Amino acid sequence: MRLALVAASGLIASSARAQEVCSSGARLEEDFALGSEVGVELDIRGLAVGPDGSVFLSQVQTHYITVLNADGSSKGRIGRQGRGPGEFDSAPAGLGFFGDTLWVSMSEARGRVHYFTADGEFVRTVSTRAPLDANGTIFATTWRPFRDRRYLAGIRWPFNSDQPDNPVQPLIVMDEGGVILDTLAIYPHMPVPIPFGRSWGRHPLHRYLRPTMASDGARVLWIDDRHQDRQFVVMSGTSTSALQELFAVPYSPVPLAGRARERVLDDYGTRLSSDASGPAAAQQYREAVQALEPHLGDHFPPVRNMVAGRDGSVWLLREERDDDVDLWEVYQYDGTLLMEVRVDFGRYLPSYLAPRIDIHEATLDEIWASTRSALDEVTLHRFSVVSNCESG
Query: Does some domain include residue 98?
Result: no
Query: Does some domain include residue 374?
Result: no
Choose from 122-136, 184-198, 305-319 the range with maximum mean pLDDT.
Answer: 305-319
Alpha carbons within 13 angstroms on the beta-carbon side of residue 295 total: 21
Classified as helix, coil or strand, 258 is helix
- Please state, for a pLDDT cut of 90, what percent of the chain lies above it: 31
Average pLDDT, integer, range 61-90: 90
- The b/e string for 251-282 (b: 16+ C-beta within 10 A; e otherwise) is eeebebeeebbeebbebbbbbbbeeeeeeebe
* Final residue of a structural domain among 176, 202, 228: 202
Amino acid present at 265:
L
User: What radius of gyration, in Å, describes the C-alpha atoms of the chain?
Assistant: 21
Query: Does some domain include residue 142?
Result: yes
Query: Does some domain include residue 342?
Result: no
What integer pLDDT is reported at residue 168 of this predicted model?
60
Task: Of 71-80, 119-128, 202-211, give the lowest mean pLDDT range.
Answer: 202-211
DSSP for 192-227, written as a single string: EE-SSSSSEEE-GGGTT---EE-TTSS-EEEEE---
Classified as helix, coil or strand, 280 is helix
Give kind and range of the element (H or E) at residue 271.
Answer: helix 258-272
Amino acid present at 79:
G
Q: Which domain holds residue 293?
A: 255-298
SS (H, E, C) 282-340: HHHHHHHHHHHHHHCCCECCCEEEEEECCCCCEEEEECCCCCCCEEEEEECCCCCEEEE
Q: What is the pLDDT of residues 105-159, one digit of tens each?
A: 887 666 789 999 999 999 999 887 777 777 666 777 777 899 998 998 877 766 5
The pLDDT mean for the chain works out to 81
Cβ atoms < 10 Å from Cβ of 136: 10
Backbone angles phi and psi of 156, in degrees to 5: -105, 120
Task: Report the distance separating Cα 252 and Cα 229, nearest Å.
Answer: 10
Amino acid present at 379:
T
* Final residue of a structural domain among 241, 266, 298: 298
What integer pLDDT is reported at residue 25 of this predicted model?
57
CA distances from 271 to 132, 267, 278, 350, 370 (A): 31, 6, 15, 9, 21
Question: CB of 351 within 8 A of CB of 207?
Answer: yes
Q: Is 324 left (phi over 0), alpha (psi -120 to 50) or beta?
A: left
The total of structural domains in the chain comes to 2
Cβ atoms < 10 Å from Cβ of 236: 20
Query: Does some domain include residue 387?
Result: no
Query: Does some domain include residue 84?
Result: no
Query: Does some domain include residue 190?
Result: yes
Q: How confident is the model at residue 346 (pLDDT cuts 50, 70, 90)?
A: confident
* Final residue of a structural domain among 202, 229, 244: 202
Q: Does residue 197 share a domain with residue 133? A: yes
Query: Does some domain include residue 150?
Result: yes
Question: CB of 340 within 8 A of CB of 325?
Answer: no
Judged against a pLDDT cut of 50, whether residue 1 lies above it is answered with: no
Task: Report the distance separating Cα 17 and Cα 297, nearest Å.
Answer: 34
Q: How confident is the model at residue 349 (pLDDT cuts 50, 70, 90)?
A: confident
Judged against a pLDDT cut of 50, whether residue 15 lies above it is answered with: no
More confident residue, 275 or 280: 280
Question: CB of 42 within 8 A of CB of 379?
Answer: no
What DSSP designation does 255 have?
Answer: B
DSSP for 49-102, written as a single string: E-TTS-EEEEETT-SSEEEE-TTS-EEEEE--BSSSTT-BSS----EEEETTEE
Task: Of 138-142, 245-249, 375-379, give the lowest mean pLDDT range.
Answer: 138-142
CA distances from 7 to 186, 198, 218, 320, 344 (A): 35, 45, 28, 20, 17
Average pLDDT, integer, range 246-262: 92
Handedness of CA 39, 58, 270, 253 (dihedral sign): negative
Q: How confident is the model at residue 345 (pLDDT cuts 50, 70, 90)?
A: confident
